[in-house]
Structure 1
């Protein structure tokens, strides 16, 4: 009889553990739903494409990890170094091939600019530099974090079927079309999502939907974990380098032209 009680107790304990595990998993899933940005075009988007986009987000670390990532730094093809505060919209751009520094808030378009050691003070000239800084951020950040923006504002997402990449990897192919967003809303991107890893491993760029062939096709390689998210720096002949995900940066990083010293 005692042995029977032990067996029953162990069975109840196992059942409770299973329920607890299932509850924890469900809670984790509930916390990490890949909510679309306001303005994502659900009506025009294909359901298959949305499902694949959510798998990409999970493979990249998950929506929660992305939302909690604040500071990202990187060097864009050896030309300029960027530091971005995702929470505030503050961006710092230091050119590496000339003496030009841009400090801008991409939401308000307020900021500072300095060229050849001289700060730009004339209002219209400064406004031009700050507008240019936002355009640089739009371009350079998309080359780095595009996989997190598949369900972004103004995006329509389509499923084009299956195809292989240029190196022969079986992939799902999604197409991103845009409406009233960014500097070039007529652009189209096709992205190849690896069927095994659910990571984007290639993209093709079209200036407009009527363009029969892409302007370029570029691999997405060298994924690594930075903080709690995955980022890729390999772009074929070009590289995004010095990639960093930071928990904090000096206060003056977005207000002073002095060099920034920060640690991962």
Structure 2
């Protein structure tokens, strides 16, 4: 596998905060349907900006989405490259991730992101259709979980501002007429709770236009890294429209991170969470 070194996104982001996904138990016809944003009562200016962010990106629609499909990769002047392909059953936690081990070799991991014991992900690993066990399989499962944490955060960060353990602060000195700026820090949750993020929320659209981050593993005096969130896609879901950026452009560098091939399918391909051979395409 070619590891991404030219950008800092190889580092696991956001402290490993997890989505629980949709509830598998739907409300009865006699019960009122409560949307996720209805359960939030903003108490501070930071909360209000974060709440507007959730609404602009379609939090309620996202909560109704049973499946998520996307690719994670990067682009430089030399071209674009896909690092991993993801398919997530948000109702059950079932997860499929594929990545290349070389020109003619591919890993397929079939796991359930809710199935973690002693911090380790449970599931099956296949290399070119053959199951891997032992240390090689455990290493691949750990890499798969790392990819899930890292890659989904690059895609879904605007929808995670109210996750448990997230601390929100409004940054008046950085805010402008065009953007409200939120500073996110984390309690002792996830893999890298020392990460910090600054979210530049458009005062016009409420969407995330830019973020900056200083990761736990970076030197304390290292400047934050900035990326513009661009090429927004509008995705239809049972509960409305979800808006997600498919491209993140590094500020001051000719390179970008890609979260593309976005889809919220109503159902997965046959065998999506059981077939050991690659099936998510070669985009």
Q: Same fold (TM over 0.5)?
A: yes
Match of 1:154 in 2: 165
The counterpart of 1:139, out of the listed 150, 170, 190, is 150
RMSD between aligned residues: 2.7
Match of 1:7 in 2: none
Is the counterpart of residue 230 in structure 1 residue 238 in structure 2?
A: no
Structure 2: 5+ residue stretches without partners: 1-31, 74-81, 116-120, 250-254
Whether the aligned pair in 2 keeps the contact of 1:104 and 1:111 (CA below 8 Å) is yes
Structure 1: 5+ residue stretches without partners: 1-26, 37-41
More off after superposition, 132-141 vs 108-117 = 108-117
Secondary structure, in 3 states, of the residue corresponding to 2:171? strand
Whether the aligned pair in 2 keeps the contact of 1:34 and 1:57 (CA below 8 Å) is no
Whether the aligned pair in 1 keeps the contact of 2:36 and 2:63 (CA below 8 Å) is no
The C-alpha deviation readout for 1:8-37, integer Å capped at 9, x for no partner, is xxxxxxxxxxxxxxxxxxx99x7453536x
More helix by share: 1
Give, in whole Å, the separation in 2 of the partners of 1:261 and 1:160.
41
In structure 2, relative to structure 1, the CA distance for the partners of 1:214 and 1:256 (3 Å cut) is farther
Give, in whole Å, the separation in 2 of the partners of 1:71 and 1:138.
17
Q: CA deviation at 1:210?
A: 8.2
In structure 2, relative to structure 1, the CA distance for the partners of 1:214 and 1:97 (3 Å cut) is farther
Give, in whole Å, the separation in 1 of the partners of 2:43 and 2:192.
23
The counterpart of 1:72, out of the listed 62, 68, 74, is 68
Match of 2:114 in 1: 107
TM-score normalised over the length of structure 2: 0.71
Whether the aligned pair in 2 keeps the contact of 1:173 and 1:193 (CA below 8 Å) is yes
More strand by share: 2
Q: CA deviation at 1:87?
A: 1.8
Q: CA deviation at 1:259?
A: 3.6
Secondary structure, in 3 states, of the residue corresponding to 1:79? strand
* Greater relative contact order structure (CA < 8 Å, 6+ sep): 2
TM-score normalised over the length of structure 1: 0.75
- Aligned pairs, how many? 223
Match of 2:214 in 1: 206
Secondary structure, in 3 states, of the residue corresponding to 1:102? strand
